[in-house]
Every structure is written in C-alpha cells, then in structure tokens.
Chain A
Amino acid sequence: MCPGGGGPAGADTLGAVTAALVRSLSRLARTAAHPAAPACPACGSADETLADRPDGTVVRHGDAVAKAHAPGTEAGPHAVRLAVAGHPALAGVLLAPLPERATGPAGRPLSAWPYGRPVDPADPEAAPWEQAAVLLARMHRVDPGVLPGPLPPMRGPLKLAAALARMEREAGGHPAAAEVRRAWRGLPGTVRGAGGRAPVPAALCHGDLHLGQLVRHPAPDGPWVLIDVDDLGLGDPAWDLARPAAWFAAGLLAPDVWLRFLGAYTDAGGPAVPDPADPWRTLDAPARALTVQTAALALARAAAAGREPDEVERAVLDACTRIGTLAPELERGAPS
C-alpha cells in the first residue's frame, strides 16, 4: 500500500488511511517504549513498520511494538483475549501485552507489546518446531476454568469459511476452485462449523499457528513464546496442529520435521493427540480443513497477483483434489 504508487482506484485514499493508522501506532509504540516520558525522548529509535496487512498493522519503536487489530474486531472478546495473554497461567507460553491501549482510525483497537525477535524467514531449517509444539501442548493443557472469561470460541472454523468466501469472490472461476469446493463439501460438519461433537474436550487454542507466530522474548535470545491472540479461544486443540499436518500431508513439510513437531507435542502431554500411535484419528479432519483453507487462499492470492498457482500452491491444490475424490466418493451412490 504505497500512496501514489499507481495502484488501483482508491489507492490514495487507502494510503491516507494507512498513514493515519501508522501515526496512531507510532504514538502508542513510543508511549509503550517510554511509559514515564510524556513524549518520546531522543532515544535514537526509528519507527519501523513490521507488518501491514488488511487484518493487522504492526509498528515497532525500540523495545515496544503497537498493533492495530482487524477492522470489525469485537471489543468484548478482544479484551478477554488480551487478558488471557497477560494471565499468569500463560506466562512463558503467550507473550503478555503492555498496559498501553488506544483506539485507532475507524475504531480499530490498538494494543502494545514488548518487541520479540521473530523466526528468520531466510533460515526455515532453524525454525523452532519442537518449541512451537511444546508451547501448544502447554497452552492446550491450561484449565480454561482458571482463565478470564467468557472465553470466545477459537476462530479456526471462521477462518476456513472466510477463506472459501474470499476464493469465491476473487478466484471463483478458476478451474481449480471446483476441486477446493468439492473437498470443502466433504469435510465433516464438526470442522465446517455445522455442529457435532469434537473428538476431545475443548481447550484453549491459538487458532492461527504458523512460523510467524513465534518470537524470542526478551530479544534477541530469550525463550520462544507465541504471539497474536486475534484467533485465540476455546476449541478443538487439533486445529493448532492442523496446519503443519496439512503441509506434511501435501508433501511440503519433510517427514522428519513433522515427526519432530508431533513427537515434541505428544511428549509434552498435548491433549490433541490422545493416541500417539494413531495421530490421524484426531488430526485428519482439521488437517483436511486447513488444506482446503490454504488452497482457497492460494487461489485467491494467485488471482490477485495475476498469476497461476506456483509449485507449492499446486501441491496443496493437489491434496485438495485427493481429499475431494477419496472420502466423498463413498457418498456418490445415494445412501440406502
């Protein structure tokens, strides 16, 4: 989003909105970094925009970052999610927020956090898979009864539905969209949000695990913790393992990395996989759901960039095709 960058119609307006948002975030990050000072002293820190997406903009100032949460974020559940992140039961698992809060343009909630060092995208081999698994197991084992409430539902199924809707809007005419739709229709009702009982008791879930959701705090070499509470809530903990499971099933994640991740999770007593000898009993349905979600977003992103899906995206689309042709094949004949 570069103002005056020759983008689509309305880009200038979007640029102005973003600039106002970044100014609000800079103010909050400076306040959070220097809580005792009325204005930022000459600390030598420059503001740095760490992320700028429609659902979250993050600005860093020194030891603090400020985040603008997605437009339309509900105030009540958002406050509970922040309180959970700051609760002692999650100490060392979730990064705790700083006390500073503000409201940005268009009523978007702004929050402040300590800066943590993220996973190096240039070195995925060094990614902390085991640490991520152990943090998830610890989160899933927290008794939801001790946490601030009412805990909102984990937003995994909502994100799946949103991904499908985005695909229909932006890439609904692509031939591969039919395969994604077919795989989606074959998903169990429990993951499509159509009701039914989850296989294990509801647990506190992160709701959007990927390698961008881990930082070392204190930076640069502190222990790894999870960040981003926007999708956090009560749900089936298998969803938090489903994205790596989907990558493995699509042939993208090496089997040894998958085994390290899964083994660390079960060794730490994570409840999403009650039987380590049969992990797919509980992982299969959410992993299919994340495959469908990833494929739907891949088609939308490729369409937005005016290109065909790349090799990695095709691997996920192929997994969708296999999902669509395997289990639902049983249903093609009318049930007797």
Chain B
Amino acid sequence: MQCPKCHAAMHTYNRNGVQIEQCSGCRGIFLDYGELEALTRLESQWVQQAPPPPAPGGYPAAPAPAAPAWGAPHHGGHHKHHRNRGFGRMLFSS
C-alpha cells in the first residue's frame, strides 16, 4: 500500500488488536473502517483507570496551544518554566 500523501510504502502494525498502517516516509497513519472507534474504546478504558482530575479552584486554565504527542507533560497546566541560566545559554546557541 502506498501513502496517499508522500507515496512512500506503508507498513501494517498490530497494536492492542488494532491494525494500523504507517507510512515509512512521512510517518502518517491510515486507519481502516472501525479502527478509530476501536482506538477510542481503548482510550476510554485507559482514561477510566486514570486518577480523577484535580479539584476545581485556583486559576482557570488558559487554553493550551497545540503540542506534539511527544511534548512535555503538563502543558496548559502547571508550567515548569526553566527561565534560568541553562535555558538562557541554550536560547543563544546552535
């Protein structure tokens, strides 16, 4: 199967019983009919096991900007701003 976006080959993987096609070039993912629903079911099972959200109070959370799946946790929540010397150096270096 070829990726509709970049035309590289797509490979099939089985994750928790869900067939997923992933492109070897752009890493886009193709889902067959019903697979998104299967993933949603898995996600809701996982969410049910997760601890409850923190109690309301304090500041209302500002809308968090979109972040990648591999982004640091707590975006949009309690930010750990590294406004220290280490980050200052990193801002100015290649």
A residues touching B (Cβ–Cβ < 8 Å)? 55, 119, 121-122, 124-125, 127, 159, 188-190, 196-197, 199, 208, 210-212, 247-252, 254-256, 258-259, 262, 278-280, 283-285, 287-288, 294, 297, 310-313, 315-316, 318-319, 322-323, 326-327, 329-331, 333, 335-336
Within B48-94, the residues touching A (CB, 8 Å) are: 62, 64-76, 79-84, 86-94
Chain B residue nearest to A316 in the complex (CB):
B90
Cβ of B15 and Cβ of A255 under 8 Å apart?
no
Cβ of A251 and Cβ of B92 under 8 Å apart?
no
Q: Looking at A159, A196, A287, which has the most chain B CB atoms within 10 Å of its CB?
A: A196
A335 to B81, CA, bound (A): 40
Shortest CB distance B36–A (Å): 16
Cβ of A196 and Cβ of B26 under 8 Å apart?
yes
Decide if the interface of chain A is mainly helix, strand, loop or mixed: helix
Cβ of B13 and Cβ of A330 under 8 Å apart?
yes
The 4 closest A-B pairs by CB, nearest first: A251-B72, A335-B11, A312-B86, A322-B70
With a cutoff of 8 Å between Cβ atoms, the chain A residues found around residue B84 in the complex are: 311-312
User: Can you list 18 A-B pairs with a CB-CB distance of less than 8 A?
Assistant: A121-B88, A127-B91, A196-B26, A210-B93, A211-B92, A212-B93, A248-B65, A249-B71, A255-B79, A279-B66, A297-B93, A311-B82, A311-B86, A312-B90, A319-B70, A322-B71, A331-B13, A335-B13
Chain B residue nearest to A278 in the complex (CB):
B66
Cβ of A255 and Cβ of B75 under 8 Å apart?
yes
Q: How many residues of B contact A (CB 8 A)?
A: 44
Say which residue of B24, B65, B86 sits within 8 Å of A259 (CB atoms).
B65
Chain B residue nearest to A251 in the complex (CB):
B72
Cβ of A212 and Cβ of B13 under 8 Å apart?
no
Decide if the interface of chain B is mainly helix, strand, loop or mixed: loop
B residues touching A (Cβ–Cβ < 8 Å)? 6-8, 11-15, 20, 22, 24-27, 29, 62, 64-76, 79-84, 86-94
Cβ of A330 and Cβ of B79 under 8 Å apart?
no
With a cutoff of 8 Å between Cβ atoms, the chain B residues found around residue A326 in the complex are: 69-70
Are A188 and B27 CB-contacts (below 8 A) given A248-B67, A319-B71?
yes
A168 to B61, CA, bound (A): 42
Cβ of A190 and Cβ of B68 under 8 Å apart?
no
Q: Looking at B68, B73, B84, B89, which has the most chain A CB atoms within 10 Å of its CB?
A: B68
Shortest CB distance A49–B (Å): 16
A329 to B8, CA, bound (A): 19
Are A124 and B83 CB-contacts (below 8 A) given A251-B75, A279-B66?
yes
Cβ of A312 and Cβ of B79 under 8 Å apart?
no
A122 to B74, CA, bound (A): 27
With a cutoff of 8 Å between Cβ atoms, the chain B residues found around residue A199 in the complex are: 26
Shortest CB distance A61–B (Å): 23
Cβ of B88 and Cβ of A330 under 8 Å apart?
no
With a cutoff of 8 Å between Cβ atoms, the chain B residues found around residue A252 in the complex are: 81-82, 87, 90
Shortest CB distance B16–A (Å): 11
Cβ of A212 and Cβ of B92 under 8 Å apart?
yes
Are A124 and B88 CB-contacts (below 8 A) given A210-B94, A255-B79?
yes
Are A327 and B27 CB-contacts (below 8 A) given A249-B70, A249-B72, A318-B72?
yes
Are A258 and B65 CB-contacts (below 8 A) given A196-B8, A210-B91?
yes
Cβ of A208 and Cβ of B72 under 8 Å apart?
no
Are A251 and B20 CB-contacts (below 8 A) given A210-B93, A280-B68, A318-B72?
no
Shortest CB distance B80–A (Å): 6
A127 to B92, CA, bound (A): 11
With a cutoff of 8 Å between Cβ atoms, the chain A residues found around residue B75 in the complex are: 251, 255
With a cutoff of 8 Å between Cβ atoms, the chain A residues found around residue B12 in the complex are: 335-336
Say which residue of A119, A190, A294, A329 sits within 8 Å of B26 (CB atoms).
A190
Chain B residue nearest to A323 in the complex (CB):
B70
